[in-house]
Structure 1
Amino acid sequence: MDFTPLSNALTAKSYDKVADICDELMLKAAAEGVPFQDEWPYAIHLLGHIYVNDVNSARFLWKSIPSTIKEGQQEVAAAWNIGQKLWTHDYSGVHEAVRHFDWSEQTRPLVAAFTEVYSQRIFRLLLSAYSTVSIQDTALFLGMNEDDATKYVVGQGWILDSASQMLTVKKQAVAVERKLDSDKLQRLTEYVFYLEH
């Protein structure tokens, strides 16, 4: 089976394309009747769905993986462990699942990229959900120790109250760029002219 498109996406760090490429290759192999299960990169396929936060597809893929592969390939089970933590919204468990497995050289960059994207997503979640939050909870959500989490969010403008061990969230200003559409301006001008005369 030719995995060149997948290899190219991984080399180019186009991790957002990995799941789609794997899905297409799997469908093509199935349609052509090509046996692929023993050589299929299930861990990468699962991680591709996880990277784009498509836990439903990862779950369905997991269900379709033969039990011999689930039991025989630890990295596949480790990838699904991340998916399970995402499925149950176990934010700190996601970080634990990533850290507690020795990822292969092939999957390590994809896992690292996922971790970065996931941390950014969780940081945005904290921004939108809290006005104040404890250092301990912040560290759990971000998958960091308390000192690193505090340094990170204080660097983002949050305010630390050392006495209460609470952080005040600094909401980031949303820049709204408004472009003036010349057609709309023309219609508005004509309308105002009409009202005045």
Structure 2
Amino acid sequence: MDSSIDFSQLQGALASESYDKIADICDELMLQVASKGVAFEIEWPYAIHLLGHFYINDLNSARFLWKSIPSHVKEAQPEIVAVWKIGQCLWTRDYAGVFGAVHGFEWSADVAGIVTAFSESYTKRMFQLLQSAYSTITVADAAHFMGMSEDDATKYALQHGWTLDSSSNMLTVRKPIVVKQQKLDPSKLQRLTEYVYHLEH
């Protein structure tokens, strides 16, 4: 990322692992650079920019960005194409494919950190989805959704309080404890009152 463009804010966010800010910083910087009429395509950190959108789960912006990347840049930088493979799998909900794309490329030093952070965050997100959608799940299915080997998926689940029935190879999901604040919305109270009134009359 050496250039006439000031990437210091982006480099700072990468160094401090503030990956949730990457997409906004890149979007803003791209607008500034474009408004000055500077040619930036070859040196723009498209791989990091795309990953910034994946990290915050903003697939529409990522697709728009991908379409705007000139084809000669994609051809010259296989890493950008490798990042987009992750995006395609996210788009088609190919869960195992996401992890395959993450582990299937030798990432550059600039990109490796955000790829790892994205992968960890995606694993957590998938795990939370499984937690809310299932009460029991086979080890094979859990491994598939989390892009892990069956052993690793079992370890991960057990660390998070799930239990394993080794005879059936089924995991029993431990639901997260939700602490609900007891704040009653006046409009809900009004609707409830009306509902009870109709029931009684």
Q: Which residue of 2 aligns with 1:22?
A: 26
Structure 1 stretches of 4+ with a deviation exceeding 3 A read none
Alignment of 1:53-64 (within 5 A): 53-64=57-68
Q: Which moved more, 1:155-164 or 1:118-127?
A: 155-164
SS at match of 1:101: coil
- The question of 1:169 aligning with 2:153 is answered no
**144, 151, 154: which is aligned to 1:150?**
154
Between the aligned partners of 1:2 and 1:158, the Cα distance in structure 2 is: 48
Q: Residues of 2 paired with 1:178 and 1:20: CA distance?
A: 35
Q: How does 1:1-197 map to 2 (within 5 A)?
A: 1-177=5-181
1:19-67 deviations in Å (ceiling 9; x for gaps): 1111111111111111111110110111111111111111110000000
| Letter of the 1:39 counterpart | E
Greater CA radius of gyration, 1 or 2? 1
Deviations 1:105-141 (A, max 9, x none): 0111101111111111000000011111110010111
AA at the equivalent of 1:30: A
Amino acid at match of 1:20: D
When the two structures are aligned, how many residues end up with a matched partner? 181
Residue type at the aligned position of 1:94: V
How far apart are the structure 2 equivalents of 1:12 and 1:174? 31
* TM-score, with structure 2 as normaliser: 0.86
Q: How far 1:164 sits from its partner (Å)?
A: 1.4
Q: What secondary structure is seen at the aligned counterpart in 2 of 1:70?
A: helix
Q: Which moved more, 1:167-176 or 1:119-128?
A: 167-176
Cα distance in 1 between the residues matched to 2:167 and 2:11: 52
Residue 176 of structure 1 and its aligned partner are, at CA, apart by: 2.7
CA distance in 2, matches of 1:6, 1:147: 37
TM-score, normalization by structure 1:
0.88
Unaligned runs of 5+ in 1: 180-197
Displacement of 1:178 in angstroms is 5.0
2:186 alignment partner in structure 1: none
**Separation in structure 2 between the aligned mates of residue 160 and residue 14 of structure 1, nearest angstrom:** 36
SS at match of 2:148: coil
Q: Using the aligned pairs only, state the percent identity.
A: 60
Could you report, residue by residue, the CA deviation over 1:155-192 in whole angstroms, capped at 9, with x for unpaired residues?
A: 2221211121111111121123458xxxxxxxxxxxxx
